[in-house]
Amino acid sequence: MRRYFYLAALPATFVAGMFAAHLGTPAQAQTSNVPLTAQIIDLAALTDADLGAQIPNMGTLRSKGLVVTPSGTIAVQTGNVPKHTHQGSDEIQYVISGSGTFWLGDEQRQIHPGDLII
């Protein structure tokens, strides 16, 4: 069950959006010269080690980028991050497991597995 450990923190997420930002305050857009290709990613096969080290200045966040295009980024993440914004981009997160709080505007909300945050 250790392979699910990385999913237990707040929140395990998928982040996507137009000119998606990948973490920062404010977040900075990423681009890639690699074209998007059809693939199947076995998220259950990811291990705790696959997420790598904590990202500096982002709390306990650890992230593994899965897809990066000029139009969006998809990553699996775990950990707690300080309140931040993604200016000029959209952020969508799906909580696979774990629970915690999330800022929705100026309001803190409780989140749990199955929540889709837009």
Instruction: Please give the average per-residue pLDDT across 53-74, as a whole number.
Output: 86
* Claim: this prediction has a pTM higher than 0.85: no
Q: Is 97 exposed, middle or buried (0-12, 13-18, 19+ CB in 10 A)?
A: middle
Rg over alpha carbons for the chain, rounded to the nearest Å, is 14
Chain segment 78-106, per-residue pLDDT in tens: 888 888 887 777 888 889 888 888 888 88
Q: What is the pLDDT of residues 3-54, one digit of tens each?
A: 443 443 333 343 333 233 343 444 444 455 566 788 898 988 988 888 889 9
Q: Measured between alpha carbons, how far is 90 from 16 in angstroms, rounded to an integer?
A: 7
The H-or-E segment that residue 68 falls in is: strand 62-69
Query: CB atoms < 10 A from the CB of 65, how many?
Result: 14
Residue 49 tokens, joined: 């080690």
Within 10 Å of residue 77's Cβ, how many Cβ atoms?
Answer: 25
